[in-house]
Structure 1
C-alpha cells in the first residue's frame, strides 16, 4: 500500500485508553472517556490509512505500587484494586482498540508520555516532527504530554477535540483553551480527517 509522503513525519499518540480509565466501573474512571471510543477507533483507522505511525501510550504500574506517584500510593495499599497494574485486565485497552504489529506501545508511569520514557528519542529516530494527540484525560496526561512536546520543539502539535476527554466538558474546554494559547491546533475528528496536514 502506497502512503502519502506528507504524513510520514507524523505520529498519532493514543493515551491511556485503558479499561481502568474508560469503563464505568473503572477505579480511575474519566467520565467523558467512554463517549470518545468510537472517535478513537476512527482516528486510528484514518492514521493507518495515511501511513501515520500509531503510538499507544499506556500507564502500567508495578502491582505493589512502587512506581506510582506519591499521591496515588494509597490506591495500591492492601485490599484495594490495583489500578492499571501490569498484566491486569484494567490495564488492557478498551474493546475496539487494537495494537497492530506496525504500531508502537510505550509504557509510562507519570502524566507525560515524555517523562522518564524514551518516547522523544524513539520519535526522533523515526523522523517524527508532528504529533496528533488523542485519549484521556485532558488536564493531566494530554496536557502534560502536549506541553512537553511543545517544549521539545515538535513542529506541529494537534489535539483532536472530540477524540480527547476529561471528567467534565468544562475542564476539557478550559484545557483546550490553554493548549491553543501555546500554538496547539484543535480540530474536530471530522476536520482532521478532511485536512491534508
Structure 2
C-alpha cells in the first residue's frame, strides 16, 4: 500500500495558533472547525506512507519580510502575526511534526513562491499533492494554482479539511479550483478511496 502513495505528499498549510485560535491575530473563522479533520488527514497520510509537509508562515519580528499590506501589524517591541518563535506561530494543539515529516517556512500566500518546495518535492519523487489547512481564498488557492501550473497531478483539496472566513467564500474557491481539474473530496471520501 505504501508504494501506491510514495509519489504523493500531504501539505498542511498554516494550521498555526494565530490563524486558528479564537484570539489569534489572523483568525480564520472556519479554521477551528477543521482541526479534527486535519488531524485525521495527517493520521491517514502517515498510515499510507504519504510524505507530510508542514507549510507554515514565520515572519521576522519586525515584519521586514511580510507583504507591504500587512506591515502595519508589526511594530518595534511588539511581535506581529506568526512572528518567528511566538506562540502564534506554533502549530495548533493536536498537530505535531514527527520524524520523517518536513517543515517548510513561507512568507507569502503560495507555498511555492520564493521557497524551495518544488525542488524538494521533485527530489522526493512527489508527483501528486493533497492539500489541507487555511485559508481557502489565499494560501490554499495560491498554492493549488501554482501546483497545477507546475504539473502536479492530481492535486486534491480535501474540502472539509480546508476553510475560509465564511462557508460561501470557501465554496466559491472550491468551485474555481474544481474548474481547473482539482479533485475535491470530503475527508471521508478521501479516507475511503484508493486514490
User: Normalising by structure 2, what TM-score?
Assistant: 0.98
Matches within 5 A, 1:102-117: 102-117=100-115
Q: CA RMSD in A?
A: 0.9
Give the aligned partner of residue 182 of structure 1: 180
How many Å separate the matches in 1 of 2:152 and 2:117? 13
Alignment of 1:37 onto 2:35:
yes
Gaps (5+ residues) in structure 1?
none
Matches within 5 A, 1:24-103: 24-78=22-76, 80-103=78-101
In the alignment of these two chains, the number of paired residues is 195
Q: Indicate the SS of the match to 1:133.
A: strand
Q: Indicate the SS of the match to 2:142.
A: helix
Deviation by residue 1:96-117 (Cα, 9 ceiling, x = unmatched): 0000011000000000000000
How many Å separate the matches in 1 of 2:13 and 2:191? 19
Instruction: Tell me if structure 1 keeps the 8 A contact 2:2–2:50.
Output: no
Give the aligned partner of residue 121 of structure 2: 123
Deviation by residue 1:108-154 (Cα, 9 ceiling, x = unmatched): 00000000000000000000000000000000000000000000011
Runs of 4+, deviation exceeding 3 Å: 78-81
Instruction: Tell me if structure 1 keeps the 8 A contact 2:61–2:79.
Output: no
Instruction: Tell me if structure 1 keeps the 8 A contact 2:134–2:164.
Output: yes
User: Normalising by structure 1, what TM-score?
Assistant: 0.97
Instruction: Tell me if structure 1 keeps the 8 A contact 2:62–2:79.
Output: no
Gaps (5+ residues) in structure 2?
none
Instruction: Tell me if structure 2 keeps the 8 A contact 1:27–1:81.
Output: no
